[in-house]
Structures are given as structure tokens and as C-alpha cells.
Structure 1
Amino acid sequence: MLKRFAAALLLAAAALPGMAADLPNHPFIHVSATADQYIMPDVGEIDIDIVSLEPDADAAWKLVNERLEASRALFAENGVAPEDVLVQDIARRPRKVEVLAEGQPLPMETRVTLHVTVRKLDGWTPIMRALLVMKDLESLAVSFNRSDREKVEADLLQQAIGMARLKAKDIAGGIGARLGAATGVSIGPLKNLSNAMGMSSDSNARGGGVRRGARTEMALVQAMQLAQSVDVIYRIGGK
């Protein structure tokens, strides 16, 4: 036991120089700050699967193609450009089931995955209302974004840095010192704190973020909460 304890102390002591090397070699204040903003989106995205459970391959492909053409017509009627309707995956494969009767073969499914970008959100509600009642659709999920996301990110970054500086000045004042120059900044990714919406009706559904069950919410354009975080290290000045 003593030998193991001594070995642990040696390892900890060996790690200390490395840990210290990551910290400034001057008195410092480390602060974190997050700026957030609620903003209406101007771009919407839809992920959806068209699925047929027809055992006959020809009949299955016929049904999937009919639903695909109906979906494309719906999108076109509501201002979605053809290049914004992306067919990501086409497959015919065994369908996963929880219980299968003895001697029964695995049922087959024919599945086509679509990713749709809606750049004119005045067409969002009619598109979603139609999709929500369309047959043979699964794994429907939606999310929103901004076309000027980089500008929003830059504005939030400046706000977060300003908040961090004010916080650091308060800390410095509280210890009777003045705040020195910033000597290090770490920026986190822009985060969308709003929930992605989707629903899952089968075991093959793909993950699409946090799920919410109210189907009617998916037809509404909702505000996003975007947040930007920073970590800043400031030198502590003289008294």
C-alpha cells in the first residue's frame, strides 16, 4: 500500500510542471462570459424519409417514386428550388423489428432520404402541414438557421468579450488592483440553444437533436436562441 501511495505521489509531482506550464507566469484573472440573442430564422431545413414496406420490390419502388414526385411538387409550389431538394440515400434492406415470428423472414423496407432547404419561410407552414399528413413518411425532423450567421456570430462575440472585460474589471476592483492587458482568449463555437424538432416512428429513425412531440409545432417558424462563449485571461496590474 505504501509503495503504491509513494508511486502515486511521484506521478502527481511529475505532472505538476506540465500543468504549471499551461498557466501564465504572471498574476492573472480568468473570466468566462456568454452573450446570447433570440432571433428569427430566415432559413429552414427538413430531413425526411419516404418508406415503403411493400414486399414486392417493383411495387415498393413505384410507391416511393410516387411519394418522391409528390414531395418535389409540394416543395416547388412553395418556392423551394430543385437544387435545394437533396436525395441523400436510396436503399432496400431488411427492416429491424423487435419481435419476429418463428420461420418468418425479415420484412423488407425501401427507403429514400431527403434533405430540403427552405430559403423562403413564407412557404414553411403550408409545406409542413402537407408533410405531416402525407402517408409513408418517417423520421421527419426540422431545424432553422440564419443566412447571415457569420455576422450574428461576430456581433455576439464582441458582446461576450465586452461582458468578460467588465466582469474582470469588477474582480480586479474587488481585490484593490487594476486590470491589465488580455494575454489569452479562447472562443467556443456558436451554439443554437433552441431545440431541434422531430419525431420518430420506427427503430430506424436517425438522430436529429432534441426531439419534441408536438407535431403542430413543426409547422411554425420559431425564434432561435444563439449563444457565443469566450474565456479570457487578463494580467493583474499594480495596486
Structure 2
Amino acid sequence: MLKQFAVAVFLSAAALAAAPILAADLPSHPFIHVNASAEFYVMPDLGEIDIDIVSLDTDPDTAWKEVNDGLETVRALFVQHGVAMDDILVQDIVRRPRKVEVLPEGQPLPMDTRVSIHLTVRDLGQWTPLLRSLLVMKNIESLAVSFNRSDRGKIEDDLLEEALGKAKLKAQKIAKGVGARLGAAAGVSVGALKNLSNAMGMSSDPFARNVGERRASPKGSEMALVQAMRLGQAVDVIYRIGNAGR
């Protein structure tokens, strides 16, 4: 879907001289500037989960045992739901000060003992029961999930090709509308051409030019649902412009 486009056509040196910008910000030839985007909704085939297992026990040995016991419990849960051991990454157990908003005077800073785990779920048929089990477990913090596609690279290549095609078509229509001929592309960017766009007042909504998935991460019970991904690619292109008869 083409969200927005911005166009500037400069047909004479006088027009360039009148603009309150530096010469280095502009191409040294008359140009058409367009931006375009493509997007695609697709169901994921991979899921990733990050969790911390935490003990608040003040005794280090007891806390260590609680965290280790919790680690063995979640490992067994992961294997039960088809997660391979190679897809379970476990960091070292650490003991560190716990962040608190208000600490009464004279009271020592509380400590916690925790271990962080990252796992990849390749069978999303197991996603919902696995997440529902994690959501009710004790001593679990910092639960976060994300989705991905094993063929994401190909999808993003296709989106880039589509966005570039839309940009060229738009530029061709603009050139025809002003009685000119569209020349070769003189500059391409998969992000905003900031110096040019900002200087010319052509950059409107920077958040609408993001690349990749744009939906916010699911929270709470939504984590247990496999949700569609929105993948997008935006491009900025500068084309040379000439007279229609040349």
C-alpha cells in the first residue's frame, strides 16, 4: 500500500537558487523525488520467548536452589512441548541488587537471584499451551515474546522490489504530468533521505517509514495467541528528469 509520497521537480537553476538550503543537499540536476512503500501480512512460522526465573530469598544458597529448581521445571516444560535443547539458551545465574522505587531509610538494598532464558519455538502448534503454562508459573519475570518467518529474507526482497516498482510508476506519472521524460534513478535509499527531505519540507511522518514489523508486541494473555506479522518496506528514490523530446 502506498502510504504517502512527496515530489519535488526543479526545472531551472533559478529554482534551486531560491531554495533556502545548501547546494550540497541537492542533486546537481533537475529531479523528481518520490517515496513509496509495500507491505505484507503473513502468519509466522517461528516464535521466540524470553523469560527470567527469579528468587527473592535473602539467603543466597536458598535462592540459588530455587532458581535451579525453576530452571529444571521450565526446561522439562519446553521439551514436553517439542522445543529442542539446542533452541534453549540459558545465561549464567546472577545475584544482583533489585530495583525498588522507594527504599526505607536504613534498610539494605534488596537482592534477587535470577537466570535469563531465550528459546525458539519452531512448532507453533505448541505455542498456545506452552505460553499458557508459563503465564501461570511462579517466579517468572520479564516474559516477552516475538514472532518471525524462516523465509523473511525472501519476503523482504519481494517487498523491496514491489516498493521500487511503485516508486518508478509514480515518478513516471509525475514526469508525464509536467511534460517531461523520466530519466535514470540517481539515488535510492531504503530510509528517508533526511537531508533532502527535511530541507525541502518533504519529510512528514518519520514513524510511517519504518522497515519491518510495525505491530506492538503482545501483552498478557495475548502472548498465548499466534498473531499475524505485518512486514513493510519503504523506499526513497530520486530520478533525473529531462525534456519529453530528448
One-letter amino acid of the structure 2 residue matched with residue 195 of structure 1: A
Deviation track 1:107-152 (CA, whole Å, cap 9, x = no partner) reads: 2100111111111111111110000000000111111111111101
Task: Report how far residue 226 of structure 1 moved.
Answer: 0.6
Task: Report how far residue 237 of structure 1 moved.
Answer: 2.4
**Closer, same or farther: CA 166–89 of 1 in aligned 2, 3 Å:** farther
| 2:127 match | 124
Q: Which runs of 4+ in 1 moved over 6 A?
A: none
Structure 2: give runs of 5+ residues left out of the alignment. Answer: 1-19, 192-209
Output the CA distance in 2 between the equivalents of 1:126 and 1:68: 19
Output the CA distance in 2 between the equivalents of 1:88 and 1:222: 28
Identity value in percent: 66
Output the CA distance in 2 between the equivalents of 1:174 and 1:48: 56
Q: How does 1:14-53 map to 2 (within 5 A)?
A: 19-53=22-56
| 2:140 match | 137
Question: What is the DSSP-based 3-state SS (H/G/I as helix, E as strand, rest coil) of the residue aligned with 1:237?
Answer: strand
Q: Which has the higher mean CA deviation after the structures are superposed, 163-172 or 181-190? A: 181-190
One-letter amino acid of the structure 2 residue matched with residue 175 of structure 1: V
Output the CA distance in 1 between the equivalents of 2:184 and 2:108: 71
Question: What is the DSSP-based 3-state SS (H/G/I as helix, E as strand, rest coil) of the residue aligned with 1:178?
Answer: strand
Deviation track 1:191-216 (CA, whole Å, cap 9, x = no partner) reads: 2112123xxxxxxxxxxxxxx4xx21
Question: What is the DSSP-based 3-state SS (H/G/I as helix, E as strand, rest coil) of the residue aligned with 2:102?
Answer: coil
Output the CA distance in 1 between the equivalents of 2:48 and 2:72: 19
Q: Which has the higher mean CA deviation after the structures are superposed, 96-105 or 57-66? A: 96-105
TM, length-normalised to structure 2: 0.80
Output the CA distance in 1 between the equivalents of 2:40 and 2:111: 46
Output the CA distance in 2 between the equivalents of 1:216 and 1:173: 53
Q: How does 1:34-113 map to 2 (within 5 A)?
A: 34-113=37-116
Question: What is the DSSP-based 3-state SS (H/G/I as helix, E as strand, rest coil) of the residue aligned with 1:192?
Answer: coil
Question: What is the DSSP-based 3-state SS (H/G/I as helix, E as strand, rest coil) of the residue aligned with 2:105?
Answer: coil
| 1:228 match | 233
Count residues with an aligned counterpart.
208
Output the CA distance in 1 between the equivalents of 2:55 and 2:27: 61
Question: What is the DSSP-based 3-state SS (H/G/I as helix, E as strand, rest coil) of the residue aligned with 1:191?
Answer: coil
Q: Is the 8 A contact 1:89 1:114 kept in 2?
A: no
| 2:212 match | 191
| 2:201 match | none
**Closer, same or farther: CA 102–184 of 1 in aligned 2, 3 Å:** closer
Output the CA distance in 2 between the equivalents of 1:101 and 1:186: 54
Output the CA distance in 1 between the equivalents of 2:57 and 2:79: 28
Question: What is the DSSP-based 3-state SS (H/G/I as helix, E as strand, rest coil) of the residue aligned with 1:63?
Answer: helix
One-letter amino acid of the structure 2 residue matched with residue 60 of structure 1: A
| 1:7 match | none
| 1:10 match | none
Output the CA distance in 2 between the equivalents of 1:233 and 1:157: 16
Output the CA distance in 2 between the equivalents of 1:190 and 1:165: 19
Say if 2:168 is the partner of 1:165.
yes
Task: Report how far residue 88 of structure 1 moved.
Answer: 2.8
| 2:222 match | 217
Output the CA distance in 1 between the equivalents of 2:24 and 2:125: 55
Deviation track 1:152-187 (CA, whole Å, cap 9, x = no partner) reads: 110000000011011111211221112111122112
